[in-house]
Structure 1
Amino acid sequence: MKSVLITAALLPLASAGAVFKPRNNNNGCNADNCARAVTGTRRGPESMSSFRQDCTSFMSTTVTPPMSTVIVTTTADSCDEEEDVAPQTLLKRVQEKRAEAVTVFPTAVPTYASACSGAVRYSSACSCWGVTAAVTTAPTPVITVTITVY
């Protein structure tokens, strides 16, 4: 009997929570002054096209993988000239200069979007157009080292 009374007492609260639950069907778009500055039609279709392209660029992240070193060893027919650096030393130098992957996140908000208080607000305005984040992986940089053995 007590469980029935407790359930009956809590039922209106549960349904009220469902009524007042915020909806998130705007996909991150806050229709505010920032969004109006970025997606508004006041400046004409040419500006809108340019602003949309700015959003696409802003929402794009580029990842450059670490460089790859290809070592080619060749044998010389004769020993006409002396090298200043021995092949083993050259190989060691190249391996020490290997880079890590580099990720570039755009953070500069265009000046026309001054109503946006920063990168998060600007990306929200871009999402009003349906522009979503994209990650592009650049080709792996390759360094070819040729070692000639005399």
Structure 2
Amino acid sequence: MAIVYLGIGSNIGDATKNCESAVQKIKFTPNIQIIKSSSFYKTKHVGGPAQEDYINGVIKIKTDLSPESCLVSFKALEKEMGRIPAPRNYPRVIDIDILFYDDIIFNNENLVIPHPLAHERLFILKGLNEIEPYFVHPVIKKTISKLYAEALVTKL
């Protein structure tokens, strides 16, 4: 079974409730077991038009689904929760991103693993650092705690 890290975020409506609901829906998704969940954090939006702050968190799951099957499953869950297609960095009722899938490096037209911005985004690193600080980024070859410390310095 693969270990997968997911980023979860929302900034439309009751964003905390949306994130909690997404975690519950993932919990009851066949072939997925939640291992750990970070706290949810209020964060400023990154890019796009002016918008409400986000609520973000990270969960660690175990699954026998392939990366592509995970993507299909999470996109269906987003749609079920009311997410509509919108330009990149626009407000969303829910966003579920595959951050890491074991230590694989995967790239096709629909999915890039590791998430290409995971090592730069403080809101991702904060949640990852809470639940798995010693996980090593498979491309950058640094621990999450090291990447988080570096991001804290550069974001000040």
The bucket for the TM-score relative to the shorter chain is under 0.3
Between 1 and 2, higher relative CO (CA 8 Å, sep ≥ 6) is seen in 1
Which has more strand, going by share of residues?
2
TM-score, normalised relative to structure 2 = 0.17
Which has more helix, going by share of residues?
1
TM-score, normalised relative to structure 1 = 0.18
